[in-house]
Structure 1
C-alpha cells in the first residue's frame, strides 16, 4: 500500500490517491506515525506536483509539519526546487515552518537563498519577515549565505526587505566575518559595489583573525579584479587593521542559537555581558579619504609638471643652427631639442624651470611618503603632506602664469596683467585663509595637549582619542 502511495505521489496521480484512501481511510495517518523517511507530501513537493500537494493538504494538513531523514520539511524541498505556488500552499497551512531548521541548520529561506530562488525568497520574507533573523549552525545569516554562494539578486531582495537593519547587515559569523569580508574573499565585484552603495555595512569591521575586508584583499592571491575592488574599498574609507585603533574590544562569537532560535532572542541573551558592540573608528574614514585625495592630486601635478618640463612654452628647436650657409658661425646658435624659450627669454625660462621643478619635486615627495611603507600614518603627518601639496599647487599656479605671459602677444599684455593681478590676489587671499585656519587648529591642539584647554569628552568607555594617537 505504501509503495502504491509513493508511486501516486511521484506521478501526481490524484485519482490513485483517492482509490487508496477508499481502501484504507487511515493510510495518511499511518504514514505520519510510521518510520517512513519521506511522506507523500515530501515526494510531491520535491517533484512539484501542485495538484497532488493541494489534495494532500486538504485531507491531512499535518503532513506539512513532518520531517524526512535529513530533518527537512516539505517547505524545505519546495523552496530548494523553486516551486513558488507550491510554497504558497504550504505557507497557508503553517507560516511558522519558515523558522524551522533542518539537520544542516538551515531554514527554507536559507535553502532558497543558497539555490538562488529569488521569487521564493521574496515570498518567504513577505509571509514571515522574522525568518531573516534565524542563524545557521555557523552563526551565519541568510545574507551570509547569499554572498557565500554568489546570489546577488537574492541579496538585493533581502536587503530591500530588511530595510535599515544595521545589526543584521553587520552581523558576524562564527569566524567574525561580515558579508563584506566574504564578498571580498570571493572577489565578487558587483556584490561589493552593491553592499557599499546600498547598505550600511561596516567597511572596517575586524574578524576573529583581526583582519578587515581590505586585509583579506591584500592577503589573497592577486588577479585582475583586485585593482577595482581596492578602488571601491578605498572610496568607502576601508583601511587595513594595522591602520585602525579600535575604540572598543572586538567581539568574540558566542554560542550558536538552537534550532528555531532567532537572532533577536540571541541578542537578548547577550545583553547579560557578552554583547557585541559595533566598532566605530571616528576619524579613520576621514583620514583614509584624505590620503587617497592627496595621492590623486599629487599624481596629477607630477604628471603636468613632468610634461611641462619636457615641452616648455614655445616648444624646442627642431634643427641645429651653428653656422650659416657660408659656413660662418651664427650670432645666436642653437641645437635641436633645446628649449626655444631658453634662447628668446632667458630670465622667464629660468623662473619657469624653478617653479615647475618645485611643483614636480613637491608632488613626488608626497607620493613617495604615501607609498614608502614607513610608519607615517599619524594625523600630524597628514597635515605636513598637505602643506607640501599647497607648495606644489602654488608653484604650479606660478608656472602657469609665466607660460601664459610668454605665449601672449604684446598687444594683450595690459589685459593679461590685469587678469594675472586679480588671479594672484585671489589666490593669496585663499591661501592665507587656509593657512590661518590651520594655524588656529594647530594652536588649539597644542593648548589641549598641554592642558591649557580642557579636552572634549568622548562618549565611548575605556577609550581616549587625541590627535597625537590617531592613526589613518
Structure 2
C-alpha cells in the first residue's frame, strides 16, 4: 500500500506526501519495479517532469540515478527525452559518466536530446562533455545525421555552432551518406540552405552506390516543389572551395616559384654573353674600360642590358613575393593569399619569358633589331593563348556534360527495339 502511494505521489508531483512516506520508511526507494516497466520512483518523476520530487529523491538516495529501466535507458536518457535542463544538470552532477551510456537503441543521452529537439538539455550536456557528441551510432551515423533524419534543425544548429567540427559535419555513415544525402532524402530545403551558409568545406561526395546528393535529388525529387531551389544550392557544394585546394595548389606553385627565382638569380650572376675575365684600362688616360667580373653586355650593349636587368629583377622579386604568399597560405584559409600568389606567379612567368627573349637578342647577332618590345608581345600572346585554351577546354567539358544530360532527358526511360 505504501509503495503504491509513493508511486502515485511521484506521478502527480505531490512532494508533501512523498516526504511524509519517506520519513516513515526510506527503504521504499529501494523498490525497483513498477507494474511491468521496471521503472523506479526517480524514473517516474523525471518522465512527469516534477523537478522538486527528483531533487528530494536524489537527496535521499543519489545512487538511484544509476539504475536503468527496462529499455536500458538511464535517468539522464529520460531527462534528455523530457527536455528538462534542470533535472539533467542535477543528474550530471551526480554521475557525469551517464553522458556516454547507451540505451536499447544504442543512443547516449546527447543523441536523445538531439532527436527530440530539446535544445536546452543539449546545450547543458555540451557544456559538460562535448566529446560525447562525436560517438557514432548504428550504421556509422553521427549525431548530425540524426538531427537531419529526424528533422531537428534547431539542435543541428546548436551542434554545428558549439562543436565547430568540419570533419564531423562532413562525416559519412557506413553507406557513404553525408548530411547532404540525408537532407535530400528527407526533402529538407531549410537544412540545405543552412548547411550552405554555415558549414565550410562541405562538398558533394558519392555514397556506396556511386551517387551524390544531387544524383539522389534528380532521381527521386524532380517533381517536388523544392526541386529547383535544392538543385541550385547543391550545385554550390559541387564547386571545389579554395580552402580544400590550398595544400595541393601551394605545393605545385611553390615549386614553380622557386624554380623561376633560381633562374632569375642565375641570369643575374651569369648574364648572357658572360663576364669580363680581366680588368683593362685606357693606356693614355688610365680610365677603366672593362672590369673583371662585370657583364660583357653591360659594356657592349648598355641600353639593352639595362632592359634585361630590369625585367629580370621583376621576375626574381615577383617569385619571392609569390613564395611569401604561398607560405602565408599554409597557415590561413583566406582566399586573398592564393589569389595574390597566382597573380605574382603570372607576372614572374611573363617576366622570365621576356628575359629569355632579351637573352637571345643580346647573344645572337641576327636578332639585334628584334627589340625587347617584340619579346614582350610574344610573351603576352603565348600567355593569352594558353589562358584561352584553358577557357575553351573548361567550357567544352561543361558543355559536354550539359549535352549529355539533355540527351538523357530527351531519350527518357523508353528504348527502341529494331527487328
What TM bracket, shorter-length normalisation?
Answer: 0.5 to 0.7
Counterpart position of 1:373: none
**Which of 383, 387, 391 is residue 437 of structure 1 equivalent to?**
383
Q: Are residues 201 and 433 of structure 1, via their aligned partners in 2, closer, same or farther at CA, if it must alter by over 3 Å?
A: same
**Alpha-carbon shift at residue 35 of structure 1 (Å):** 9.1
The answer to whether the Cα contact below 8 Å between 1:181 and 1:216 also exists between their aligned partners in 2 is yes
Does 2:97 correspond to 1:82? no
- Does the Cα contact within 8 Å between 1:203 and 1:212 map onto a contact in 2? no
TM-superposed deviation, 1:440: 4.0
| Structure-1 separation of matches of 2:213 and 2:239 | 8
1:120 alignment counterpart: 121
CA deviation digits over 1:297-320, x for unaligned, max 9?
xxxxxxxxxxxxxxxxxxxxxxxx
Question: How many corresponding residue pairs?
Answer: 261
Partners in 2 of 1:58 and 1:77 — Cα distance?
19
Task: Map 1:24-43; keep pairs closer than 5 Å.
Answer: 24-31=25-32, 37-43=38-44
Cα shift at 1:46: 0.4
Which residue does the alignment assign to 1:464? none
Query: How far apart are 1:206 and its partner, in Å?
Result: 1.6
Mapping of 1:152-171 within 5 angstroms? 152-163=153-164, 165-171=165-171
Given that residues 44 and 53 in structure 1 are in contact (C-alpha distance below 8 angstroms), is that contact kept between their aligned partners in structure 2?
A: yes
Matches within 5 A, 1:180-191: 180-191=180-191
Cα distance in 1 for partners of 2:219, 2:37 equals 50
Distance 2:245 2:141 in 1: 19
1:60 aligns with 2:61: yes
Q: Residues 380-420 of structure 1, C-alpha deviation per residue, up to 9 Å, x if partnerless? A: xxxxxxxxxxxxxxxxxxxxxxxxxxxxxxxxxxxxxxxxx
Distance 1:88-1:186 versus aligned 2 partners, 3 A rule = same
Q: How does 1:255-266 map to 2 (within 5 A)?
A: none
> Paired residue for 1:92?
93
Rounded to whole Å, the distance in 2 between the matches of 1:220 and 1:238 is 23
Deviations 1:30-50 (A, max 9, x none): 439x99700111000000001
In the alignment, the residues of structure 2 paired with residue 225 and residue 433 of structure 1 have an alpha-carbon distance, to the nearest angstrom, of 50
TM-score, with length taken from structure 2: 0.56
- In structure 1, the residue matched to 2:212 is 212
Instruction: Output one character per residue of 1:242-287: Cα deviation in whole Å (capped at 9) or x when no partner.
Output: xxxxxxxxxxxxxxxxxxxxxxxxxxxxxxxxxxxx999989xxxx
CA contact (8 A) 1:42 1:74 kept: yes
1:395-453 CA deviation, whole Å, 9 max, x = no partner? Answer: xxxxxxxxxxxxxxxxxxxxxxxxxxxxxxxxxxxxx9986425346999xxxxxxxxx
Q: Aligned partners of 1:190, 1:11: CA distance in 2, in Å?
A: 40
Taking the aligned partners of 1:184 and 1:229, their CA distance within structure 2 comes to 8
**Could you tell me how far 1:15 is from its partner in structure 2?**
2.5
Confirm or deny: 8 A CA contact 1:83 1:120 kept in the other structure: yes
Change beyond 3 A, Cα 1:440–1:137 = closer
Q: 1:435 to 1:100 in 2, by over 3 A?
A: farther
Change (3 A) 1:81 1:226: same
Q: Secondary structure at the match of 1:236?
A: helix
Following superposition, the deviation at residue 200 of structure 1 comes to: 3.1
Q: What is the CA–CA distance in structure 2 between the aligned matches of 1:211 and 1:279, rounded to whole Å? A: 23
Alignment partners' CA distance in 2, 1:40 and 1:433 = 85
How far residue 155 of structure 1 moved from its aligned partner, in angstroms, is: 0.8
Q: Residue 5 of structure 2 corresponds to which residue in structure 1?
A: 4
- Paired residues of 2:106 and 2:138 also in contact (CA < 8 A): yes
CA 1:435–1:114: 2 relative to 1, 3 Å: farther
Query: Would the alpha carbon gap of residues 59 and 433 (structure 1) be closer, same or farther in structure 2, given more than 3 Å must change?
Result: farther
For the 8 Å contact 1:189–1:225, the answer to whether it is kept is yes
Q: 1:148 to 1:442 in 2, by over 3 A?
A: same
Alignment-derived partner of residue 109 in structure 2: 108
1:238 CA drift (Å):
5.5
Query: Given that residues 204 and 237 in structure 2 are in contact (C-alpha distance below 8 angstroms), is that contact kept between their aligned partners in structure 1?
Result: no
Distance 1:437 1:73, change over 3 A: same
Query: C-alpha separation between the residues in 1 aligned to 2:187 and 2:246?
Result: 25
> Per-residue deviation at 1:179?
0.9
The two structures have a TM-score, normalised by structure 1, of: 0.50
Change (3 A) 1:88 1:18: same
Give the Cα separation in 2 of the matches to 1:158 and 1:186: 20
Q: 2:98, 2:247 → 1: CA distance?
A: 41
Q: Post-superposition shift, 1:169?
A: 1.1
Q: What does 1:268-287 align with in structure 2 at a 5 Å threshold?
A: none
Aligned-pair CA distance for 1:175: 1.9
Contact 1:180-1:201 at 8 Å conserved across structures: no
- The alpha carbon displacement at 1:201 in A equals 5.0
